[in-house]
């Protein structure tokens, strides 16, 4: 009986999260915009903090390696319904726009790397999935809500941030403002 109640509760929570994502809750995600350039930090106009993470395939990736091209950082987890809802939109954007997407997985919250690999295969994702094994980058970017995304311009400056799911239209609109 407890198992049925738990499964029902999970299904209801997932359904509600998907409903809010699709229909919208009447609120836009928290967004910061500005064009003033400051030092390294997390505010719009600041240089994005650099980091190195290893991909699921074992390849080391560093944020500064992508200078010269816009980058979207997306902090996510497989257990997060809004993260699941926005992944197809990220894949569509990756295939249609000149942008690098670095999907940073909150690895220590996952059951296993196989869970992440199964997720990638289920959604047919082709952009880099970086494993934040000890949550160091998640903490560096002060991520408290999943998903959280940052759009970084070709110079490494944060131009947009969103706490909560974003859809293809928001991604494309904000990316069009970035070099």
d(CA 25, CA 90): 21
Closest CA to 166 of 152, 140, 146: 146
Taking residue 35's Cβ as centre, other Cβ atoms within 10 Å add up to 9
pLDDT at 8: 57
For residue 90, the SS3 value is helix
Residue matched to tokens 């959280």: 148
- Is beta strand 71-76 parallel, antiparallel or unpaired with respect to 148-152? antiparallel
pLDDT at 34: 47
Kindly report each contact of residues 27-35 with a partner whose C-beta sits within 8 Å and lies 24 or more positions away, as own/partner. 29/162, 29/163, 29/164, 29/165, 29/166, 29/170, 30/161, 30/162, 30/163, 30/164, 31/160, 31/161, 31/162, 32/160, 32/161, 33/159, 33/160
pLDDT tens readout for residues 10-32: 665 555 555 555 544 344 444 44
pLDDT at 4: 67
Model pTM score: 0.79
Query: Phi and psi for 61 in degrees, rounded to 5?
Result: -130, 140
pLDDT at 39: 78
- Is beta strand 148-152 parallel, antiparallel or unpaired with respect to 129-131? unpaired
d(CA 88, CA 113): 20
| Low-confidence residues of the chain: pLDDT under 70 | 1-38
């Amino acid at each position: 009986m407890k198992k049925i109640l738990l499964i029902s509760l999970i299904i209801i929570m997932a359904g509600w999260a998907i409903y809010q994502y699709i229909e919208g809750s009447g609120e836009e995600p928290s967004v910061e915009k500005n064009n003033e350039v400051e030092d390294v930090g997390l505010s719009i106009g600041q240089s994005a903090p650099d980091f190195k993470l290893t991909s699921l395939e074992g390849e080391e990736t560093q944020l500064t390696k992508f200078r010269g091209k816009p980058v979207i950082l997306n902090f996510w987890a497989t257990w997060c319904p809004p993260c699941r809802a926005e992944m197809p939109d990220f894949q569509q954007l990756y295939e249609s726009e000149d942008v690098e997407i670095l999907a940073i997985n909150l690895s220590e919250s996952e059951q296993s790397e196989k869970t992440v690999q199964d997720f990638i295969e289920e959604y047919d994702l082709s952009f880099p999935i970086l494993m934040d094994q000890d949550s160091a980058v998640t903490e560096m970017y002060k991520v408290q809500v999943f998903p959280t995304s940052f759009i970084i311009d070709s110079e490494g400056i944060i131009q947009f941030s969103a706490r909560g799911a974003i859809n293809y239209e928001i991604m494309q609109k904000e990316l069009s403002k970035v070099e």
